[in-house]
Amino acid sequence: MNVEGLLARARAAGIMIAAAESCTGGMVMAALTAVPGSSDVVDRGFVTYSNAAKIEMLGVSPKTLRRHGAVSTEVAAEMAEGALRNSGAQLAVSITGIAGPGGSEHKPEGRVCFGVARSGAPVQAEMRDFGTLGRAGVRRAACDHALALLITALRTGSAV
């Protein structure tokens, strides 16, 4: 399913979508809003690149950030929940990761964590290691995966 299909499915279900993005810097929202007529299903996006933005805009817990770091499934889950809570959406996706260059032994370049929150369903989070695709490649892969997560959530009626 392409982005047009994703939006059509959300429209048919009466679902609004939000996104909370860190390493992709708004790419998911750009992909969704590139489609004419998307305003009836796309509510808003949060670009929360800094930890302060994650805390202030989404309500991510400073304790979670200290304990697990910004690139973690725990933070991704809180980002998705915050996007849902602070929007008029019923479905939200979040992305936080290390696009590169760089990284560490414990959090390598290409590691990206995702969250999906849907009204009435438990939040889900997962981690993907895309590898050293280069900054642009990791960001594109993360955006594509986030869109796929939205499609899955719309197909199954759950968070993922």
- Whose tokens are 């290409």? That residue is 110
Span 51-73, pLDDT tens digits: 999 999 999 999 999 999 999 99
DSSP string, 35-86: STTGGGTEEEEEE--SHHHHHHHH---HHHHHHH-SSSHHHHHHHHHHHHHT
Q: Pick out the chain residues at pLDDT < 50.
A: none
Retrieve residue 67's tokens: 């304990």
**Is the CB of residue 105 less than 8 Å from the CB of residue 30?**
no
Retrieve residue 46's tokens: 């949060």
Span 1-24, pLDDT tens digits: 699 999 999 999 999 999 999 999
Task: Return d(Cα 136, Cα 30) in angstroms, integer.
Answer: 15
Residue 109 CA, distance from chain mean position: 18
Task: Return d(Cα 38, Cα 49) in angstroms, integer.
Answer: 24
